[in-house]
Structure 1
Amino acid sequence: MYITLRRDTPAPGRRALSAVPANVIALGAVSLVTDVSSEMVTAVLPLYLALTLGLTPLQLGFVDALSFGATALLRPAGARVADRWRHKPVAAAGYALSALAKLGVLAAGAALGPLAAAIVADRTGKGLRTAPRDALIAASAPAGGEGLAFGVHRAMDTVGALLGPLAAFAVLAATGGTYRAVFVVSFCVAAFGVVLLALYVRDRPGPTPPAPPLRTVLRDRRLWRMCAVAAGLGAFTMSDFFVYLLLQRSGAVPLRYFPLLPLGTAAVYLLLAVPLGRLADRVGRARVLLGGHLALVAATLLLAGTPAAAPMVVGVLLLHGLFYASTDGVLMALAGPLLRDSSRTTGLAMVQTAQAAARFVSSLAAGALWAAWGPRAALLVMAAGLLAAVLAAARGLR
């Protein structure tokens, strides 16, 4: 018996990827470039604040919380404008503001107030762009393929997260550890992302459907249920800021390699985002979402209870990447189909706002717990709270 393999028959994985709309790929390219810029700054900022400026754990928690607070406040407003107008211009404004904020970080120098303002501006830009961008992805994806579309987008986004720390490390090595050079290069990369958005991303076709009154959107019980789930899980999510700083302070990671820590998370995310997006479409997005948060519980406990060594670092980064691959795009893929098309951007923004507001509280709480009782107590409290939140969310999503 002979088996003939036709060359024009794509493999199942390639066939699935070929179904991803071009607009999703274009948005992924914009996010990739923007994430290179953002992660260049993120990779060096914790160390810059802790060592150069000498901030305490409580102050670090406050600065980290500012980023979540800014996005929480701006996302609903930006989304409402996008629902009543167009998605692309609002997203473009957010990307442009984040690019300009890199110049603010450069100008702030060692002054904490202006530096905090620049961080708020950067997160404000993220708050404006995220919901319109996700609504464009949801509108571009075929029915039943939202998980794959978001997974592909997030995978491309994570390529940027992978390249950003490498770029920061290379710039620091080439300039003798000059942080200002990192901020300059970051701005140039972010500006290129804005150009890509203007040239290649297409807004939703046809006239903009009339947005329902806000009170109608707020009456949607499914929306409030998703907001409650996102807030409950976000309230006990340990920030990347603290995860990487605690890994370095454990003594298992030399100081010069600190900017490379996000690479571990990003590499795992990149490998798993698309497979987990497809898995979520098949077995249920809620299951994958909650499984990802259990991975974060395990990472937090590992960081709290394991002696500092290379296997601990690898384990934490593997679980951290699994957490993001299972939750980042999956939450939006879970919420998107539940919302009306005319108010989807506002609805997604409200879910993201609930999550960001909870992360604001989480960062403040983690910093306060660390300052009062030490990092191990902070980790254990956050892990216990997140486990309880997962159990509550499992009941709420039935």
Structure 2
Amino acid sequence: MEGAVYLSTARAADAAEGVERDRVRDSAAVRAVPANVLALGAVSLLTDVSAEMVTAVLPLYVVVQLGLSPLAFGLLDGVYGGVTALVRLVGGHAADRGRRHKLVAGLGYGLSAAAKPVLLLASTVPAIAAVLAVDRAGKGLRTAPRDALISLSTSPGDQGRAFGVHRAMDTAGALLGPLVAFGLLWATVDAYDAVFVVSGCIAVAGVLVLLLFVQRPPDGGTASHARPDGGAAAQAWADGGAAARVRPSVRGALGLLRIGAMRRICGCAALLGLVTISDAFIFLLIQKKLDLAPQWFPLLPLGTAAGFLALAMPLGLLADRIGRWPVFVGGHAALLGAYVLLLVPSGGTAMIVGVLALHGIFYAATDGVLMAAAGPHLPAGLRASGLALVQTGQAVTRFVASLAFGAAWTMWGVPPAIMVASVALALSATVALVLRPGSVLAEEPSA
């Protein structure tokens, strides 16, 4: 009996010690964000403050200050959103050649920083479109190399957390940007030149942080210390060191689609992008449904950004624990909930809060989580090219989705258009859940 009691007590002590060890390890994991991720988060925060300052005032500047027509602004908005999709693959491929991720990302950030003050000199549609094209080309060039740096600096088991931290810092900038812009306009009595100059200065500060604090990951990246669980992902892992030494090519980048998991990730991301209503339409639907006063319209994106900021890191951690694909698909379920709320006849403040909260959950569960899901399946030497493939496919289909939803709204009206989008999203999310890619399991180094 005494032996049994001793064994029981020992086991209880061991269990308690194990729980405490797990607690300490989990706490340390939350704190141990790679320095590169924090530095890149600071760069994105500053850059997003700069970018959102311009985005927030651009409609007013173009239509009110310069007197251009809404049709002209529609053209500029198309340029603003479409150019990035055209150069993402270029940025990813250029970054992988010679492992120049920091150089290509720096070039992208530098282009965007240089474009901001030039808006002071542009007063016609072609001139403004050219400046915006340079700015968005910079964004397209930097996105895949930046995400590759995050992925290569982080072990596979912590990718969701790393991207969650980065996206949270990025979204903090998106929240601050409009507030800074409207504060400047109020203080300077609508002096748009002050907004563009300050925006350019903040963007330059972001470039300096990149140059001074972001380091090149070791050859093969941190991810090379983890072993996938088999199949095509295992082959990608096995080829990682070789791919880091081989000069990447466009053919090699497209060859990544031979990896089964990458085909499923790219296909599902593109399919879900095809049924995603754009942010602008979501906000316009809220405004139309509630007949919201124009002065409140600029605050709607802040609601989405607040939800994104609050949940990006928690959902990234959840994705690392339960799997990234369920969280990614679950984010689209939240978007479906937002669509359903927009169909409810009665609205009010509760409807606005509900739609914006679900919209923020959608971004928190999908934006960084998709990159975290794709990264470990890719060899280190083609990491930026592979992530660019995923991003480009999604960007192109979302552009098509915007055109399709706009046409449906025009032909059928709002409720039928949302109903069609809801059914299509539900079906696409089901397909994505069935075609989920395999997981990549991290081998934790022994203590």
What TM-score results when the alignment is normalised by the length of structure 1? 0.89
Is this contact kept in 2: 1:211–1:343, CA < 8 A? no
d(CA) in 2 for partners of 1:104 and 1:368? Answer: 34
Residues 47, 245 of structure 1: 8 Å contact kept: no
Alignment-derived partner of residue 336 in structure 1: 375
* Matching of residues 175-214 of structure 1 within 5 Å: 175-206=188-219, 209-214=245-250
Q: 2:121, 2:286 → 1: CA distance?
A: 30
Q: Deviations over 1:251-301 (max 9, x none)?
A: 454322332222211111111111100100111111000110111122123
1:280 pairs, out of 319, 333, 336, with: 319
Q: 1:60 to 1:230 in 2, by over 3 A?
A: farther
Name the structure 1 match of 2:232.
none
Deviates more, 1:309-318 or 1:357-366: 357-366
- How many pairs align? 388
1:14-57: CA deviation from partner (whole Å, max 9, x where unpaired)? 5233211111100000001111111222233456667764425x
- Contact kept? 2:76, 2:125, Cα under 8 Å: no
SS at 1:237 equivalent = coil
Moved more, 320-329 or 13-22: 13-22
Structure 1 gaps of 5+ residues are 4-8
- Map 1:1-398 to 2 at 5 A: 14-46=27-59, 53-55=68-70, 63-85=76-98, 86-109=100-123, 111-206=124-219, 209-219=245-255, 220-221=258-259, 222-251=261-290, 253-397=292-436
Distance 2:115 2:434 in 1: 41
Gap regions ≥5 residues in structure 2 = 1-15, 17-21, 221-243, 438-447
- Paired with 1:345 and 1:17, the residues of 2 have a C-alpha distance of 26
- Bigger-Rg structure (1/2): 2
Q: For 1:64 and 1:363, locate their aligned partners in 2 and report how far apart those are by CA, in whole Å.
A: 12
Q: Residue 366 of structure 1: CA displacement?
A: 2.7
Distance 1:392 1:346 in 2: 25
1:187 is matched by which residue type in structure 2? G
Answer with 133-142 or 375-384: which moved more: 375-384
Separation in structure 1 between the aligned mates of residue 245 and residue 63 of structure 2, nearest angstrom: 48
In the alignment, residue 244 of structure 1 is paired with which amino acid? F
Are the counterparts in 1 of residues 111 and 135 from structure 2 also a CA contact under 8 Å? Answer: yes
What percent identity do the matched residue pairs reach?
Answer: 53
TM-score, L = length of structure 2:
0.80
**What is the letter of the counterpart of residue 36 of structure 1?**
V
Query: Which residue is 1:6 aligned to?
Result: none
Matches of 2:165 and 2:87, distance apart in 1: 26
Does the CA contact (< 8 Å) of 2:329 and 2:433 recur in 1?
A: yes
Rounded to whole Å, the distance in 1 between the matches of 2:415 and 2:121 is 36
Superposed displacement of residue 342, structure 1: 1.1
Matches of 2:339 and 2:392 in 1, distance apart? Answer: 24
C-alpha distance in 1 between matches for 2:131 and 2:424: 32
Q: CA RMSD in A?
A: 2.6
Matched AA of 1:225:
R
